[in-house]
């Protein structure tokens, strides 16, 4: 498994998104998926305090056990959890959220601590100052953000005091079917040395190949099984389904799967540090890990642009 830099961290180019843990997966199945990831060389685990009603962090901590020091654990804060933990990016809330995450993960440090979404009520300088203090205290190694625009990344960069910790990553939605980061965020990342982490890299499963014509119908529990449900309606719309079918035929004509295309196309972007796809089984983990090896050439990238073009800003 290759790695790329994320600040001072070296993360596997295929990571594991842990939003299924504590919800769709219990502790036993979570442990099986985590161990399968470790077995194929995945060292980057991305979660959030809100995932699984806080259980995702707990399950990951138990699954990693004594192997904690050999992996990169990323988590997020900022989304409300309940009436007592209302989220946001105020310094006092960050300190509480971090201590809670450390306890749930059964660790004394977090490798990458990320603001889950911008907080318009709090000056970004205040947030960065609190995160820098926690880094200096040894409770986290690097800091990142999520769902930030180009302008918000610039505002954050300008607010960093000399010698203080900057954001080393931004995690936004990005896939063959959602290319909005190409309208500025990716260029900003490249200019500032910020690693980009795409979420929904498989368009919630539409780019996995399991919804392709002729494929075995996915079980009712699959995220997009009901095309009329909110998530299904968002991803399995006419435009996306047609593009996914065309991309699947393109990949097959070159001896690859749609899954391999989805991973390899993202990793063809130098700013992308790791593709953090979720998984619910060891088989999915192994498929994801093997999907990043297609080196797309210029002609292939041009054909992909034709089949799934970048939408206007």
Alpha carbon distance 294, 244 (integer Å):
18
Q: Is the pLDDT of residue 85 over 90?
A: no
The per-residue pLDDT for range 31-61, each reduced to its tens digit, is 999 999 999 999 999 999 999 999 999 999 9
Sign of the alpha-carbon dihedral angle for 16, 146, 56, 53: negative
| pLDDT at 251 > cutoff 80 | yes
How many percent of the chain have pLDDT more than 70? Answer: 95
Number of folded domains in the chain? Answer: 1
- pLDDT bucket at 233, cuts 50 / 70 / 90: confident
Q: What pLDDT, on a 0 to 100 scale, did the predictor assign at position 90?
A: 97
| Inside any domain, residue 299 | no
Does residue 160 lie within any of the structural domains?
yes
Query: For residues 269 and 246, what is the distance between their CA atoms, to the nearest angstrom?
Result: 21
CA distance 16 to 25: 14
Task: Please check whether residue 215 lies inside any domain of the structure.
Answer: no
**303 in any annotated domain:** no
Q: Is 51 a catalytic residue?
A: yes
Domain presence at residue 77: yes
CA torsion 111→117→121→122, rounded to 10°?
A: 20
Q: Which domain holds residue 167?
A: 3-205+262-294
Residue 111 has pLDDT above 70, yes or no: yes
Per DSSP, the three-state class of 168 is strand
278 backbone dihedrals φ, ψ, rounded to 5°? -80, 170
In a domain, 306, yes or no: no
Tell me the longest C-alpha to C-alpha distance in the chain: 57
Which CATH number do you get for residue 171?
3.20.20.100
Mean pLDDT of the chain: 94
pLDDT score of 92 more than 90: yes
Return the closest-CA partner of residue 116 out of 46, 45, 174.
Answer: 46
Q: Are the C-beta atoms of 16 and 47 separated by less than 8 Å? A: no
The predicted structure's pLDDT at residue 86: 86
Task: Confirm whether 169 is domain-assigned.
Answer: yes
| Letter string b/e over residues 154-179, b meaning 16 or more CB atoms within 10 A of that residue's CB | eebbebbeeebbbbbbbbbbbbbbbb
pLDDT of 224 strictly over 80: no
pTM, two decimals, is 0.93
User: Please, which pLDDT band fits residue 268 given cuts at 50, 70 and 90?
Assistant: very high
- ∠ CA 300-216-14, rounded to 5°: 45
Q: Which of 51, 93, 109, 113 is catalytic?
A: 51
Per-residue pLDDT, averaged over 6-18, amounts to 97
pLDDT of amino acid 227? 62
In a domain, 82, yes or no: yes
């Amino acid at each position: 498994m290759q790695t790329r830099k994320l600040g001072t961290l070296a993360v596997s180019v295929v990571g594991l998104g842990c939003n299924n843990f504590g919800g769709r997966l219990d502790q036993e199945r979570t442990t099986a998926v985590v161990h399968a990831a470790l077995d194929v060389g995945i060292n980057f685990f991305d979660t959030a305090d809100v995932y699984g009603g806080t259980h995702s962090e707990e399950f990951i901590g138990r699954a990693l056990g004594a192997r904690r020091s050999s992996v990169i654990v990323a988590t997020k804060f900022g989304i409300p959890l309940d009436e007592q933990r209302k989220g946001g990016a105020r310094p006092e809330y960050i300190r509480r959220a971090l201590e809670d995450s450390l306890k749930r993960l059964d660790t004394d440090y977090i490798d990458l601590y990320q603001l889950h979404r911008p907080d318009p009520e709090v000056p970004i300088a205040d947030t960065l100052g609190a995160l820098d203090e926690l880094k200096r205290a040894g409770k986290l190694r690097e800091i990142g953000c999520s769902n930030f625009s180009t302008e918000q990344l610039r505002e954050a960069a300008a607010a960093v005091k000399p010698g203080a910790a900057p954001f080393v990553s931004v995690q936004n939605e990005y896939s063959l079917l959602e290319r909005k980061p190409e309208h500025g965020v990716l260029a900003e990342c490249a200019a500032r040395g910020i690693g980009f982490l795409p979420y929904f890299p498989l368009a919630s499963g539409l780019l996995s190949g399991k919804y392709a014509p002729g494929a075995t119908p996915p079980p009712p529990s699959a995220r997009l099984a009901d095309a009329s449900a909110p998530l299904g309606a968002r991803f399995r719309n006419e435009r996306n389904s047609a593009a996914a079918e065309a991309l699947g035929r393109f990949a097959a004509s070159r001896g690859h799967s749609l899954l391999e295309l989805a991973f390899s196309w993202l990793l063809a972007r130098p700013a992308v540090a790791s593709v953090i796809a979720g998984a619910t089984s060891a088989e999915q983990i192994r498929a994801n890990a093997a999907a990043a090896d297609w080196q797309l050439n210029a002609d292939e990238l041009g054909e992909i642009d034709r089949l799934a073009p970048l939408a206007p800003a």
